Structure 1
Amino acid sequence: MSALPQHQPQFRVMSYEDLIAICRIEPTIYSHPWTYGNFKDSLDSGYSAWVMEMSGEIVGYALIMMVLDEAHLLNISVSQHYQGQGLGRALLAHMIAVSRRRLATNMFLEVRASNTKAIGLYEAMGFCEMGIRRHYYPTRQGREDAVLMGVAL
């Protein structure tokens, strides 16, 4: 496990102006990235969307959809250059805190079954596997299962 970088990350609410920078990061870390339209639709829908900055540069972002008292983590991402520095953990902790402030009692997410690093992070943060969503994610050769995970807040 890596320590946080010397400068602490700053968190702020995502704006429409952030989407160009976010859409530069997204395809560098995902084979099937969210589009500008996906992010815009999420903001239009009022989802809780945040960016993480280091020295004024967006290095991560996350979005939560609230449904009653449940938070569904839709996307959590850290720029490839900043991965392995504890920033994913910091961003997830921030989103958990945001969800608690919004009175969520549980948080749920899906993660690619092959993404063992992310699964390890989620487990370290108290998430448990709740099931498998068969053929949930697209791949270059077909579909991949998602692990459904959740944590009580």
Structure 2
Amino acid sequence: MTEADLPAVMALERATFPLDAWSEGMMRGELADQPRTRHYVVAVDDDDLIIGYAGLAVAADQADVQTIAVLTERQREGVGSAMLTELLDEARRRAAQEIFLEVRADNPRARSVYERFGFEEIGVRRRYYDDGTDAIMMKRKLDG
């Protein structure tokens, strides 16, 4: 992902996360840390339109999935899984030993995707999201 992608990414961010979307400033801050501690990718369709994006933070031997979003009409096509696979691969390239994420407690579909990828629930952050929804914390060990 580059700053040139931000208009499309921010439109998708607001559509996907209407109650707790990141600001453009927050997203620019994430991009400013590439490649030092961040790795952000976009998924594009055959017309080069952005249909998804994902981001990773890595510090020492620990990685965190920062965000993953896919256009509603393009979900269930493997776009999110492909981006998550890229994030896991990048975490391994950076020698992370484990990877963490938070997922909304009211998003069972996303949780099931993460579970298929080997993430396990490790805790709950009460009222984590702006609307008071809990976050389920998940972790996965990374193999070499």
Fold-level match, TM-score > 0.5? yes
- Is 2:13 aligned against 1:45? no
C-alpha distance after superposition, 1:29-69 (max 9, x if no partner):
11221121111011112321111112111111111111111
Matched AA of 1:130: I
The aligned counterpart of 1:36 is 24
Amino acid at match of 1:50: V
Q: Which runs of 5+ in 2 are unaligned?
A: none
Once the two structures are superposed, the pairs formed by residues 81-92 of structure 1 within 5 Å of their partners are 81-92=73-84
Deviations 1:49-103 (A, max 9, x none): 1111121111111111111111111111111121121211111111111111111
Kept in 1: contact 2:61–2:97 (CA 8 A) = yes
Alignment-derived partner of residue 8 in structure 1:
none
Aligned residue pair count: 137
Displacement of 1:128 after TM fit?
Answer: 0.2
Q: Could you tell me how far apart the structure 1 residues matched to 2:16 and 2:72 are? A: 6
| 1:43 maps to amino acid | L
Asked if 1:19 corresponds to 2:10, the answer is no
Structure 1 residue identity aligned to 2:41: W
Distance 1:25 1:149 in 2: 24
Aligned to 1:108: 100
Q: Secondary structure at 1:25's aligned position in 2?
A: helix
User: Are the aligned partners of 2:120 and 2:138 in contact in 1 as well (CA < 8 Å)?
Assistant: yes
CA distances 1:103-146 after superposition (whole Å, capped 9, x unpaired): 1111100001111000000001100001111111111xxx1110
2:86 corresponds in structure 1 to 94
Query: Aligned with 2:118: secondary structure?
Result: coil
Once the two structures are TM-superposed, the CA of residue 149 in structure 1 deviates from its matched residue by 0.2
Q: Give % identity.
A: 35
SS of 1:138's partner is: coil
Q: How many angstroms apart in 1 are the aligned matches of 2:56 and 2:84? A: 11
Look up the equivalent residue of 1:48 and give its one-letter code: H
CA RMSD of aligned residues (A): 1.0
The structure with the greater share of residues assigned to strand is 1
Structure 1 unaligned segments of length 5 or more: list them: 1-13
| TM-score where L is the length of structure 1 | 0.86
Extract structure 1 runs of 4+ deviating beyond 4 A. Answer: none
Q: Is 1:148 matched with 2:140? A: no
User: How far apart in 2 are the matches of 1:43 and 1:90?
Assistant: 20
What SS does structure 1 have at the residue aligned with 2:92? helix
